[in-house]
Amino acid sequence: MTGHEEFPTYGHEVLAVILQVRAGRLCLLLWQRTEPPHAGAWALPGGVVGPGETLELSVRRHLATKVDVRELSHLEQLGTVSEPGRHPELRLLATAYLGLVPAGVDPVLPPDTSWHPVHEVLRTAFDHGALAIAGRDRLRAKLSYTNLGYALAPPRFTIAELRAIYAAALGHDVSPTNLRRVLLRRQVLEPTGETTRPDRTGGRPAACFRFRDGGYRVTDQFAVLRPPSAN
């Protein structure tokens, strides 16, 4: 603690659970290893932390080689894993981050990297599968009490499009009626005033919306046990 004694040091890597809704499915970005250990297995993007950088900057730097960092709409720390046996050869701590990419963008990927529907991800290298599940569950929980949807949605969208995104991320159907009312009442969404042209098959034109707040915001802070009223 004083900085004068000798003490052990460890390798430290960052890992990214990158999620995006693609074609109606929540997908996870993985790359395929070619060298042991776990050659051939799919793994989370990431890499070793450099001497002068914070964990967050490190994960952004490593991601820049996989997806354009400017396309990341959200990045938050998930947790740090430390089991001594998680890497077969050396003691390597890993801090995982959850990153989100808005629907619609399609970043160019290196050849070893691709998107996988998150419910199909079974065998992964190391403990990456459990980290991916943790990221998916964190996203699902926060969709219901924060405005985190902004990080999955394109800049402008109809309620039907947003409904599809929420349904894919949550893994169950979502009613457009209720989604609209909940998010409007909470002032998470605002109408842009524009409308879309309907399909050839007809139908009423849909109003366009955007997320009011560009950043992360908790919208339903005290579900219960809230402070007594001011009276």
Partner DNA sequence: GCAAAAGTGTTCGCCCTACACCCATGT
Partner DNA sequence: ACATGGGTGTAGGGCGAACACTTTTGC
User: Does residue 229 belong to the site contacting a second copy (CB under 8 A)?
Assistant: no
* Cα–Cα nearest to 135, from 94, 82, 98: 98
What end-to-end distance do the CA atoms of the chain give, in Å?
Answer: 50
**Minimal distance, residue 40 CB to a second copy, in Å:** 14
Figure out which of the listed residues 11, 155, 171, 205 binds DNA, where binding follows CB under 7 A.
205
Mapped onto helix, strand or coil, the DSSP state of residue 172 is coil
User: Does residue 172 belong to the site contacting DNA (CB under 7 A)?
Assistant: no
Figure out which of the listed residues 89, 111, 200, 230 binds a second copy, where binding follows CB under 8 A.
89
User: Does residue 112 belong to the site contacting a second copy (CB under 8 A)?
Assistant: no
C-beta atoms surrounding 153 within 10 Å? 23
Tokens of 20: 């995006």
Tokens of 84: 């001594």
User: Does residue 231 belong to the site contacting a second copy (CB under 8 A)?
Assistant: no
Stretch touching a second copy by CB under 8 A, among 19-27, 64-72, 88-96, 98-106: 88-96
User: Does residue 178 belong to the site contacting DNA (CB under 7 A)?
Assistant: yes
User: Does residue 217 belong to the site contacting DNA (CB under 7 A)?
Assistant: no
Q: Which residues have C-beta within 8 Å of that of residue 29, sequence separation ≥ 6?
A: 16, 18, 19, 20, 44, 45, 66, 67, 109, 113, 114, 115, 116
Q: Is the bond preceding residue 37 a cis peptide, omega within 30 degrees?
A: yes
User: Does residue 49 belong to the site contacting a second copy (CB under 8 A)?
Assistant: yes
Planar angle of CA 65, 67, 68, nearest 5 degrees: 95
User: Does residue 52 belong to the site contacting a second copy (CB under 8 A)?
Assistant: yes
Where along the sequence are the contacts to a second copy (CB under 8 A)? Answer: 1-3, 7-13, 33, 35-37, 47-56, 77, 79-80, 82-84, 87-91, 93, 95, 141, 143-145, 166, 170, 172-175, 178-179, 182, 220-228
